[in-house]
Amino acid sequence: NAGVTQTPKFQVLKTGQSMTLQCAQDMNHNSMYWYRQDPGMGLRLIYYSASEGTTDKGEVPNGYNVSRLNKREFSLRLESAAPSQTSVYFCASREDRVSNQPQHFGDGTRLSIL
Amino acid sequence: GQQLNQSPQSMFIQEGEDVSMNCTSSSIFNTWLWYKQDPGEGPVLLIALYKAGELTSNGRLTAQFGITRKDSFLNISASIPSDVGIYFCAGPRTTSGTYKYIFGTGTRLKVLA
């Protein structure tokens, strides 16, 4: 059971380039989330998807787009990367959007924008 | 936005010592989660608390859901080198019936052998 799988693990981009971060979960969870983690700021929610076919903005959505491709996959896209988007990106999934079930996280994608 | 404050921000301790950290909120939560993040990996759930006053253990870890529902505490007994990492608290915020979790800024623990 792989849980939450993120690809790639590392990526370096130049300013202005585009990039899609992939996330897949094999736990049949309804909800999926994208966070970014910056030093001293904890985890901040970028976008989330409460169920297949729906997406909503989180705390810091500017500069990002998402796609809930199917129940398993939730991708995060940077259309025109900026140095301020250098961060570690985590995908998470959760069993049920209306209960207190905790989130399960992937191992992250470390993204550097030059 | 809503914030979770964790204390301390970082700590160095000797192997074998006990560790205490806490998390406070300006709002009431009905769930508290504690995660640990090892270097280079994603957060892993340690303990989930669902009831005010609840005390739950997971091995050498013990967490408590504060009576006021605005705070939670995590204790680690007899620390070992593999306890090193960042510990996060998290609490849910609901929007139109959808759960989103707010995370604290973390407590970074370093254990000296």
**Residue B34: which H helix or E strand, with range?**
strand B32-37
Q: Which of A19-28, A36-45, B86-95 tops mean pLDDT?
A: A19-28
Closest to A3 measured CA to CA, from A96, A110, A108, A104: A104
Partnered with residue B100 across adjacent β-strands are B93
Residue A55: closest C-alpha in chain B: B98
Q: Is B92 on the interface with A (CB under 8 A)?
A: yes
pLDDT (0 to 100) of residue B64? 97
Q: Cβ of A100 and B99 within 8 Å?
A: yes
Q: For residue range A52-63, what is the model confidence (pLDDT) as tens digits?
A: 889 999 989 999
Return the pLDDT at A111: 96
Q: Can you tell me which residue has the tokens 């966070």?
A: A35
Which range has the top average pLDDT, A47-51, A102-106, B71-75?
Answer: B71-75
Residue B56, pLDDT score: 95
Cα B80 to chain centroid, rounded: 18
User: Three-class SS of residue A106?
Assistant: coil
CA dist., res. B66 & res. A44, Å (int):
24
Q: How much of chain A is in helix, strand and coil states, percent to nearest 5?
A: 5, 50, 45
Contact across the interface for A43 and B43, Cβ inside 8 Å? yes
* Mutation for B interface: A47, A68, A103, most B CBs within 10 A: A103
Give residue A99's pLDDT: 65
- Tell me how far apart the alpha carbons of residues B13 and B8 are, in angstroms, rounded to a whole number: 12
* pLDDT score of A97 more than 70: no
- The rounded distance, in Å, linking the Cα atoms of B102 and B113 is 33
Distance from CA of A108 to the nearest CA of B (A): 6
- pLDDT for residue A65: 97
Q: How many cross-chain Cβ pairs, A to B, lie less than 8 Å apart?
A: 64
Say how far apart CA A13 and CA A27 lie, in whole Å.
Answer: 31
Residue A102, chain B, CB below 8 Å: the answer is yes
Question: CA–CA separation, B10 vs A84, rounded Å?
Answer: 25
Query: Which pLDDT score is estimated for A98?
Result: 56
Asked if A108's CB is within 8 angstroms of B41's CB, the reply is yes
Predicted confidence at residue A100, as pLDDT, reads 72
Quote the CA–CA distance of B85 and B108 in Å, as a whole number.
Answer: 6
Average pLDDT of every residue of chain A: 92
Residue type at position A63? G
pLDDT higher at B59 or A2: B59
Average confidence (pLDDT) per 10 residues, chain B, 113 residues? 84 94 92 93 93 94 95 96 94 75 92 81
With residue B88 as reference, give the H or E element that holds it: strand B85-95
Q: What is the distance in angstroms between the Cα of B12 and the nearest Cα belonging to chain A?
A: 17
